[in-house]
Chains A and B, each alone.
Chain A
Amino acid sequence: EAQVTQNPRYLITVTGKKLTVTCSQNMNHEYMSWYRQDPGLGLRQIYYSMNVEVTDKGDVPEGYKVSRKEKRNFPLILESPSPNQTSLYFCASSLSGTVRTEAFFGQGTRLTVV
């Protein structure tokens, strides 16, 4: 089954403790991206990647890192999480960043930073 898989689905952590949210897709997609969703602010893009080893900042990149060492994986790293990063996070992929294709989303990761 074609899908985007995020782990974990739920995470509670403390301020300053480094964490990684994993994202994997099995569709051989080139384009992957991360979003956060907050009440009243909607979905905002954090980082995106056009292909392996190519990443770029979205609208709200501060406090986040990403890497794209393999085509299928695009982990989101919070080096020193803070309470304002409490949010619902989504990973997405599409076939290509330049060809006009449909985006597929993971089920989300609900992160709480206390």
Chain B
Amino acid sequence: KQEVTQIPAALSVPEGENLVLNCSFTDSAIYNLQWFRQDPGKGLTSLLLIQSSQREQTSGRLNASLDKSSGRSTLYIAASQPGDSATYLCAVYNYGQNFVFGPGTRLSVLP
């Protein structure tokens, strides 16, 4: 059964810092991996989608990498801003046609 973990569980950084969020999964039989952002009490906003054949994707200040063989993905946020404060979730889409989510990393960017 696929298991997804995220480290750290929470992170607090001063504004302007670059940071890395980590996601690990146990079964490499995935179609893709997706990073989401969730603000308190709100829905999920898709940030980046990496197909299983890809190594990385970039969108603005965000860069996500995928190493399928080792079961790892990282989300890199450059020059963090207070508006980046949220919970970041990674999810893998399995060959079994289901999404499995990690528990999330709660990020606080301090002004």
Contact = CB atoms under 8 A, between A and B. Distances in A.
A97 B97 contact: yes
A101 B46 CA distance: 11
A42 B102 contact: yes
Given A42-B104, A100-B32, A100-B51, A58 B43 contact: no
B42 interface: yes
A45 interface: yes
Interface string B85-109: 0000101010001111111100000
8 contacts: A33-B99, A45-B100, A50-B97, A56-B97, A59-B98, A90-B44, A101-B49, A105-B36
| Interface SS majority for chain A | strand
Contact of A107 (B42, B89, B99): B42
- The list of the 10 closest CB pairs from A to B, nearest first, reads A43-B101, A105-B44, A107-B43, A42-B103, A100-B31, A102-B49, A100-B32, A105-B43, A108-B43, A100-B51
Interface in B71-89: 89
Interface in A47-68: 48, 50, 56, 58-59
Contacts of B103: 40, 42
Interface in B47-61: 49, 51-52
Contacts of B52: 100
Interface string A7-33: 000000000000000000000000101
B11 to A, nearest CB: 17
B28 interface: no
A103 interface: yes
Nearest to B103: A42
A51 B99 CA distance: 16
